[in-house]
Amino acid sequence: MDTRTREELIAENELLKERLAAVEAEVEMLRSMLSGGGSGSSAAPFVKPNRKERREAEKEARKKRKQSFARHRETPTEVVDHVVETCPDCGRQLSGGWIARTRQVIELPEMAVRVIEHRAIGRHCGVCGKDHIAKIDLSGQVVGKMRFGVRLMSLVAELQTTCRMPISQIRGLLNTLYRLEISAGEIAGILQKVAQVAEPIYVGLRDEIRGSPVVNADETGWREDGVNGYIWSFSTPRTRYFAYNRSRSSEVPKETLGEFKGKLVCDFYSAYSVIDVVCQRCWTHFLRALKKLNEKHPDDESVVRFVDAVKDVYERAKAFSSDIRRHRLWAKMAFERELMEIALPYLGLKKPQSTLAGRIEKHLAELFIFVEEPEVPSDNNAAERSVRPSVIARKISGGTRSAKGSKTRMILMSVFGTWKLRAMDTMSSCHSLLAATPQLHST
């Protein structure tokens, strides 16, 4: 039984009336916003405008296009007319007509491989009594005594190098599309022949690397006949050069770069430290190390301050620019001093920051080359992008089986990679290269 007094019930009733009035006012306001509320009012921010209003607003804001972007219609290579021969209602024969509508279907042709037999016909001259046999000139069609045409060879090289298909899958694809039975050894022979023809280009790419002002370098694992080795990558914005070696020592970049006088962008691997070149160490690698340090010690405020301070120096260095060389040199020296001051308190101590502080001390002169030389990137991303296809190929094929196979792979990766980097059609470029090869064995 309710024991409250009459005065308490009256007070509670008044309070409920006030709350009800407030709720009714809020409901009325929301209704007004949802319906547009007459002139001068606007809908709630979470309410989408009516479709018609939205389309009109988009139409007013949209700029007129300079050209239509409708689906491109191809030039037909074949036309099939669909005609009603007789009237379906009365059976009368129909003739003439007009094109009511069209529909294009793009399809691949079914075709078998072409096997062309070239025959040298001999003829006898009854006047001089001599026999004359025509010479078979296959210039632009085959390379040497190969029994495969240059178009087929180019396709095999494209599938293996650009598409990273293993030989077994190339065999299956050729059989499926062209009903061509070809052995794994023959495909390997095609690739070796293409590499042999492209080898002068490969040597030229190495010379381009040696003469470049800036080169990105990196290395990744590769197995030859089940033995671990390395693919070394040297690249510029227009050139790719790959070399295989079982060693990961400094002798490989020394031999490849020769008398290199430019700037070498690389990671912190020690092999690059002993060669006589100016290095820009990769900041992307260093930032990753800072991130790992931060994740390992998230509650250590001194680690957080150290990481933030180093990142701040780098970001200001990246943002710096000047057309005056001495200003860039002064800025480089200032950033080096500032970074060294951050690292100094942790040198020689057993603290989480000590390892990276030691790295700063060791490579201080190699961290801000990009400030003084604007054409030098601060990261080694170009080299990492260049080796990524070989990493994928390694996971697919597992590597190569012989030294000859490794050399073939390096030549094709370098030449095809450079063509692609220069926005050239790789298969067409390979076809042109093979077609231009002198026919030393023509009969």
Domain count, the chain: 1
Global confidence as pTM? 0.77
| 301-309, long-range: CB < 8 A, 24+ apart | 302/351, 302/353, 303/352, 303/353, 306/342, 306/346, 306/353, 306/356, 306/357, 309/342
Q: Which contiguous run of DSSP H or E holds residue 281?
A: strand 278-281
Q: Is 417 within 8 Å of 389 (Cβ atoms)?
A: yes
Angle at 136 between CA 155 and CA 197, to 5 degrees: 40
pLDDT band at 237 (very low <50, low <70, confident <90, very high): very high
Q: Is 227 helix (H, G, I), strand (E, B) or coil?
A: strand
Q: What is the pLDDT of residue 441?
A: 40
Structural domain includes residue 49: no
Q: Is the pLDDT of residue 73 over 60?
A: yes
Tokens of 341: 């001051």
Structural domain includes residue 65: no
Of 362, 414, 401, which Cα lies nearest the Cα of 166?
Answer: 401
Q: Is 437 within 8 Å of 143 (Cβ atoms)?
A: yes
pLDDT band at 50 (very low <50, low <70, confident <90, very high): low
Q: What is the pLDDT of residue 171?
A: 95
Q: What is the pLDDT of residue 29?
A: 81
Q: Is the pLDDT of residue 378 over 80?
A: yes
State CA 163 to chain mean position distance: 13
Q: Is the pLDDT of residue 218 over 80?
A: yes
Structural domain includes residue 255: no
Per the listing, tokens 């590597």 go with 399
Q: Which residues contact 230 (CB under 8 A, 6 or more apart)?
A: 219, 220, 221, 222, 244, 245, 246, 247, 248, 252
Q: Is the pLDDT of residue 238 over 60?
A: yes
Q: Is 34 within 8 Å of 44 (Cβ atoms)?
A: yes
Burial state string for 182-214 with b = 16 or more CB within 10 A and e = fewer than 16: beeebbbbbbbbbbebbeeebeebbebbbebeb
pLDDT band at 279 (very low <50, low <70, confident <90, very high): very high
Q: What is the pLDDT of residue 39?
A: 47
Q: What is the pLDDT of residue 7?
A: 80
- Bridge-based pairing of strands 122-124 and 131-133 is antiparallel
Q: Is 205 within 8 Å of 239 (Cβ atoms)?
A: yes
Structural domain includes residue 253: no
Q: What are phi and psi of 64, to 5 degrees?
A: -70, 135
pLDDT band at 443 (very low <50, low <70, confident <90, very high): very low
Q: Is 64 helix (H, G, I), strand (E, B) or coil?
A: coil
Q: Is 265 within 8 Å of 370 (Cβ atoms)?
A: no
Q: Which residues contact 231 (CB under 8 A, 6 or more apart)?
A: 219, 220, 221, 222, 242, 243, 244, 387, 390, 410
Q: What is the DSSP string of 73-88?
A: PPPPS--------B-T
pLDDT band at 32 (very low <50, low <70, confident <90, very high): confident
Of 123, 113, 121, 193, which Cα lies nearest the Cα of 441?
Answer: 193
Average pLDDT over residues 196-211: 96
pLDDT band at 8 (very low <50, low <70, confident <90, very high): confident
Q: Is 222 within 8 Å of 394 (Cβ atoms)?
A: yes
Structural domain includes residue 50: no
Q: Bigger pLDDT: 344 or 59?
A: 344
Q: What is the pLDDT of residue 35?
A: 66
Structural domain includes residue 296: yes
Question: What is the C-alpha separation between 60 and 64, in angstroms, rounded?
Answer: 10
Average pLDDT over residues 246-270: 94
Structural domain includes residue 354: yes
Average pLDDT over residues 127-156: 93
Q: Is 218 within 8 Å of 432 (Cβ atoms)?
A: no
Share of residues in the chain with pLDDT > 90 (%): 74
Torsion, CA 317, CA 319, CA 321, CA 326, rounded to 10: -20
State CA 388 to chain mean position distance: 9
Q: What is the pLDDT of residue 44?
A: 57
* Ranges 41-45, 360-364, 438-442: which has the least confidence: 438-442
Q: Is the pLDDT of residue 164 over 70?
A: yes
Which domain, by its residues, includes 295? 283-372
| Arithmetic mean of pLDDT over the chain | 89
Q: Is 41 within 8 Å of 32 (Cβ atoms)?
A: yes
Q: What is the pLDDT of residue 24?
A: 87
Structural domain includes residue 95: no
pLDDT band at 336 (very low <50, low <70, confident <90, very high): very high
Residue 294 carries which side chain, given as an amino acid letter?
N
